[in-house]
Amino acid sequence: MKKLAIFGAAGRMGRSMAENLGDFPELSLVAAVEAPGHPAVGSPVGPAAPGVTITADAAAAVVACDVAVDFTFHEAVPEHAALCAAHSKALLVGTTALSPAERAAVLAVGEKAPVMIAANMSVGVNVLLALVRRAAQALDDAYDVEITEMHHRHKKDAPSGTALALARAVAAGRGDAPLSEIARFGREGLTGERPRGEIAVHALRGGDVVGDHDVLFAADGEILRLSHRATSRSCLSRGALRAAAWLARQKPGVHEIAESLGL
């Protein structure tokens, strides 16, 4: 059994992970962390982890665990990564909107312990990423690519990390230039004719949508649509727990969630 710490334990994903923990007997929750001053600090995690209380002590959580899962605000992630590196503890990061410096801080953990950054923990989404890459390999740039995503009104970043991962999968499948050179985010005004090879990404926000992602390959005479819809956060939290259990058994280095799924 591997000992698990959850950073962001009172958030949507943290709570969902605790609720689904019983389906993963190979994991035992030993620490739950929130930011200092968070109203949940001092509260019990719940029946899935009897005796575990949410604290603000990140260092103690890292010492106690074998693997940490981080769903905190992006600015807090480098501190947690540094602690995991210092104590050679595995780290799985699901936080999106990491800056280049924050991402580099996480990847540096790989020198001391296994580390993984996953834009989306859902098994279905990661199968979708593999399918999108294969489709992009087979379809040339005569097929225009449009990616849309929709999330609940509370999501802070746009586009979603998953939408960006899907765009990168298209670019990688085609062997294209870096995404920054061929991506378009939204449209407004007199945009002119759509350039060949452009990868467009659009973000929608509203209601309580957990996460919808669509990739369209549109050519003259046909459209191929590859889609994923999350109807509950449990698909994300269960994927995170599955990835954490796998990551805790790996050697130091930077790992991809596709590895844990055999993709």
The two three-digit tokens of residue 111, written as one number: 């020198």
Three-state DSSP class for 160?
coil
Considering the candidates 3, 38, 74, 155, report the single residue annotated as catalytic.
Answer: 155
Q: Which residues, listed in sequence order, are joined to residue 116 by a DSSP beta bridge?
A: 92, 255
Q: Which residues, listed in sequence order, are joined to residue 114 by a DSSP beta bridge?
A: 253
Find, among 80, 50, 48, the residue nearest to 67 by Cα. Answer: 80
3 annotated active-site: no
- CA pair distance 76, 232, nearest whole angstrom: 26
112 annotated active-site: no
- CA pair distance 248, 201, nearest whole angstrom: 34
183-185, strands of its sheet edge to edge: 183-185, 199-205, 144-151, 211-219, 222-230
How do beta strands 90-93 and 67-70 pair? parallel
Helices 123-138 and 234-247 pack at an angle, to 10 degrees, of 90
Find, among 160, 152, 250, 253, the residue nearest to 214 by Cα. Answer: 160
Considering the candidates 89, 151, 228, 255, report the single residue annotated as catalytic.
Answer: 151
Where in the sequence numbering do the catalytic residues fall? Answer: 151, 155
